[in-house]
Amino acid sequence: SQQGEEDPQALSIQEGENATMNCSYKTSINNLQWYRQNSGRGLVHLILIRSNEREKHSGRLRVTLDTSKKSSSLLITASRAADTASYFCATALNAGGTSYGKLTFGQGTILTVHP
Amino acid sequence: GAGVSQSPSNKVTEKGKDVELRCDPISGHTALYWYRQSLGQGLEFLIYFQGNSAPDKSGLPSDRFSAERTGGSVSTLTIQRTQQEDSAVYLCASSLARGAGNQPQHFGDGTRLSIL
């Protein structure tokens, strides 16, 4: 079963606009990761945020984490047509203080950026 | 450098046949993961290998599924007596160390399995 719930399921925007995707989870986590998947390809790691962090940036990506609400958001600024892909959040569970190997993925958000 | 390599990229087989899927992880990565991606279930964890430790098989859906990792490198996922519900994309990933939260996972492009 999927721990993460993402919304929206699909997002369609114009180039240059910002895209925000949200993820909620249920159990205590060690950290949360965001991945991107282009059609027919594997997942590509974008960014990792630890449970003791609240915000993290990487280029045009900004991720926030609110452990009290068990939620995270991914913001892509100044979107490009090449950002068109599916975006997944994934959680690594906190098992006795260590970060456990397997990831639990959300259902994903399909982002379409129109040129 | 080479990424995670999976073969075959596509596999079509008849119900009841056995299939074997292969994963070549990134050199030096000690952790290897198998996931399954299907329309109805999203991305599901199947099995996790870390070095010489016993694998975590908690995600394997039935005893028809098995996996091994030889020499700490290449892994094969075997599905016996395939059923139509086994149709999915099977993704392999590897990472540098135990603890997915501490290291990003690097994914192959998957094997698209279709059971007729």
For the four alpha carbons of A82, A83, A84 and A86, in that order, the dihedral sign comes to positive
| Out of A42, A105, A107, closest to residue B110 by CB | A42
pLDDT tens, position by position, B92-113 = 999 986 554 578 899 999 999 9
pLDDT confidence of residue A2: 39
pLDDT at B98: 58
Q: Which residues of A touch B107 (CB under 8 A)?
A: 35, 42-44
Subunit contact B56:A99, Cβ cutoff 8 A: no
- Whether a cis peptide bond, with omega within 30° of 0, leads into B61 is no
**b/e map of A87-106 (b: 16 or more CB within 10 Å)?**
bbbbbbbbeeeebbbbbbbb
Extract the tokens encoding B77: 């996922």
- Which is higher by pLDDT, B75 or B39? B75
Euclidean distance between the first and the last CA atom of chain B, given in angstroms as a whole number: 37
